[in-house]
Amino acid sequence: MSGLLNAFARATINLFNPRMLWLWSWPLLAASLFWGVIGMYFWTPMSGWLLTVLPVSELQDWLEASSLQAVAEGVETMFNLIIFIILIVITSLVITAMFAMSDLVNFVARRYYPAMVRMQGGTVAGSLRHMISALIVFIMIWAVTLPLWFVGIGLLVPLLAAAYLNQRLFCYDALSEHADQSELEQLLAADRPARWGLGFLTALLQFIPFINLFAPTLTALAFIHFELARLSQLRRQTG
C-alpha cells in the first residue's frame, strides 16, 4: 500500500513540472479534436441510440408528457456529453500510452533512478499485444454492461472497466525499457492486487470534472513510479 501511495504522490508532484504541460495537453487536444469531428456527424444518431440502450427513456417520456420538453432534451444532451467526455479521456489514455510513454519514462528515470541500467526486455510487439488485448476487453465490458451503468451496481462498472484498462495499458510499457525479459515476466506476474489498487485510484480521477483532463498523464506517471520502484527493489533483493 505504501508503494502505491508513494507512486501516486510522486506522480502528482511531477504533474506540476513545466515539461508536463505539453505531455498532458497534446494527447487531450488530439482526442478532443477526433471526437469533436465524430460528434459533428454522429451526434443525432448517437442520441437516438443511447436512448434505446440506457434506461432513461421512461424519464424522458414522462418529461415530454409533462410538457417539460426542454428538460427532456437536456437529459439527452447530458448523456451524450458524458459519453463523449469518457471517450475523450479513454482516447487520450491510449494516445499517451502509444506516443508519450517513452518521454514520461525518461522523465521519471532521470530524476529518481539515474543509475538504473536499461535492459530493454520489452518489445514493440509485446506493447501492442498488451494494448490491443486491454482495449478489446475494455470495449467488451462497455458493450455488455452499458445498459446497467445507471442502475444499482451498474454504477461500479465504468470504474471497474477503467481500472482494468489503466493497469493493463501502462504496466508493460513502464517496465519494458529498464527490465530484462525475466524481470519483466516476474514483475508482471506479481503484486496484482496492488496494481489493481492503483488502477482503481487512477480510474476515480477520470470521473472527476476538470481533474480528468490530467488523468491520462497522471495515470501513466503513477504506474511508471510504481513499476520502476518494484524493479529497483527486485534488483536489490537479487543482488
**Which of 36-45, 74-83, 156-165, 167-176 is the least confident region?**
74-83
What does the pLDDT look like over 189-203, one tens digit per residue?
Answer: 988 899 999 999 999
What does the pLDDT look like over 117-153, one tens digit per residue?
Answer: 999 888 889 999 999 999 998 888 877 776 666 665 6
pLDDT score of 117: 92
Query: Collapsing DSSP states into helix, strand and coil, what is residue 206?
Result: coil
What does the pLDDT look like over 224-236, one tens digit per residue?
Answer: 999 999 999 999 9
CA distance 83 to 76: 11
Closest to 162 measured CA to CA, from 218, 116, 205: 205
Please state the pTM of the whole predicted model.
0.84
CA distance 56 to 63: 11
CB neighbour list of residue 84: distance below 8 Å, 6 or more residues apart: 35, 39
pLDDT score of 63: 46
What percent of the chain stands above pLDDT 70? 78
Amino acid identity at 77: T
What does the pLDDT look like over 27-73, one tens digit per residue?
Answer: 989 998 888 887 777 665 655 555 555 554 554 554 455 544 444 45
122 or 157, greater pLDDT: 122
CA distance 41 to 64: 26
